[in-house]
Structure 1
């Protein structure tokens, strides 16, 4: 639902960011905690009600917390060792929270729960089901907070959190074209590059650029019956449809990208290479290389 100021254009645009604030951290953690019970199929606590002589199941929070200490060791905890939201000046690792969101998404299952008896209410029982319809509700709640807070993340149907890159040429259509590249090595390098590019952690930017440059260099040798220079020339000629003006443009871009890969610290790491210290420059390099490859793969035979 759009509120009054949103409907009438009276609200300032939301600042888009990749930094999870303390307040948003708490909101996201609350959503995770709301669905902890949907992990009961993994973390079962067998209980027994002596009054009626029946067993029942609860969510085993202690077992869950112990497991998370191994799976997500850097996630923030309170003085009692429980996963908690940051308070005051607490330092926190926002990517550990993303790990938790993904863990719940990957393992969430439907449950049926209620009192054993509506009159006496001896115990509250959780019954685990083998379906995952609840994932849609969980995903919608997480993504609603991402959207309303301006966070450049999304929880995908594939149960992974990916970053949202504004003004990027990467599209589902390009990803489909990548899947159809006949040459295995180029295809796998491109898939790896795209996956790293979508990863929320900025540390993956360098790896994504390195992978896409590896794919670019391998694409030059796509036609294995030709040497590298002739193979690259064939790719350029096919892209230009025999038009000299376009051939000149694409040839110049091939050379420019080759020079970038050799001059900057992308594929080579000698001290003489130019360091890239701004992640926005990584995005620029990735998208520039992607634009050329996305066009070229449409002409590969």
Structure 2
């Protein structure tokens, strides 16, 4: 079963070669799906053994606790959730912003993009974090069209006018940031894959762009009464 679900891991494990971190986390998730706590019951004198029962929740909680203790002691920025799923740990300020955000845009598709972006951003897998960035930019583009207006530009301006008074310094700053984020999405390989677009080359770049866009989107959500 392990070979089928995690084919990129060597089994039995090699004593001389350490798998990549995402592969180790896949192995931990695989184990977490199977663990449980054996509960010793009454003694059966004829067969000379105890009856055993199986407590899935207690075993999973113990396994998650043991794994997370090892990760913390070795300063590894990942953890298993109570359900046994691996996720990376974020700086506290960023984690509070992302975990605490509410998505109530009134548009189910926009909410879906935002929630998918949040969940994938926590994944230890690089491809999931790239996908998180794409979902967040998709949500940004949909947000621009939620206000009434004759076209997308008018709708986007109306959206920002709800966040800050027209003509104010902060409103102008929001306009510049929205324009810059749009340019980034069109010039870098985030939502599209044309040969003219520049690929992101590191996870640090993905993290930077995600947190920058998420902060902007959250301000828009709070300023227009759509969550945040």
TM-score with structure 1 setting the length = 0.66
Q: Equivalent residue for 1:237?
A: 161
Q: Equivalent residue for 2:11?
A: 77
Instruction: Please report how far the alpha carbon of residue 286 of structure 1 lies from its aligned counterpart in structure 2 after TM superposition.
Output: 0.6
- Check if 1:147 corresponds to 2:75: no
- Check if 1:291 corresponds to 2:212: no
Instruction: Please report how far the alpha carbon of residue 295 of structure 1 lies from its aligned counterpart in structure 2 after TM superposition.
Output: 0.9
Instruction: Please report how far the alpha carbon of residue 115 of structure 1 lies from its aligned counterpart in structure 2 after TM superposition.
Output: 7.9
Alpha-carbon RMSD across the aligned residues, in angstroms, is 2.5
1:169 to 82, 94, 98: 94
Q: Quick one: distance in 1 between partners of 2:170 and 2:59?
A: 52
1:270 to 188, 194, 197: 194
Across the two proteins, how many residue pairs are aligned to each other?
A: 225
Q: Equivalent residue for 1:199?
A: 123
Instruction: Please report how far the alpha carbon of residue 117 of structure 1 lies from its aligned counterpart in structure 2 after TM superposition.
Output: 4.9
Q: Give the unaligned 5+ runs of structure 2.
A: none
Q: Quick one: distance in 2 between partners of 1:224 and 1:233?
A: 10
Q: Equivalent residue for 1:111?
A: 38
- Check if 1:182 corresponds to 2:106: yes
1:1-301 to structure 2, matched below 5 A, reads: 67-78=1-12, 84=13, 86-88=14-16, 90=17, 92-113=19-40, 116-117=43-44, 122-123=48-49, 125-129=51-55, 132-166=57-91, 169-171=94-96, 174-223=98-147, 227-242=151-166, 244-301=168-225
Structure 1 residues 234 and 72, CA gap change in structure 2 (3 angstroms): same
Q: Quick one: distance in 2 between partners of 1:239 and 1:202?
A: 34
**1:231-254 deviation line (CA, Å, top 9, x unaligned):** 211221111145611110100000
**Does the 8 Å contact 1:265/1:275 carry over to 2?**
yes
Q: Quick one: distance in 1 between partners of 2:93 and 2:189?
A: 22
Which structure's CA Rg is the greater one? 1
Classify the secondary structure of the residue corresponding to 2:196. Answer: coil
Q: Quick one: distance in 2 between partners of 1:175 and 1:234?
A: 28
**Does the 8 Å contact 1:116/1:123 carry over to 2?**
yes
**Does the 8 Å contact 1:177/1:298 carry over to 2?**
no
Q: Hey, which of these two has a bigger chunk of helix by percent? A: 2
Q: Quick one: distance in 2 between partners of 1:177 and 1:219?
A: 16
The runs of at least 4 consecutive aligned structure 1 residues that moved more than 4 Å come to none
Instruction: Please report how far the alpha carbon of residue 145 of structure 1 lies from its aligned counterpart in structure 2 after TM superposition.
Output: 0.8
**Does the 8 Å contact 1:75/1:93 carry over to 2?**
no
**Does the 8 Å contact 2:98/2:118 carry over to 1?**
no
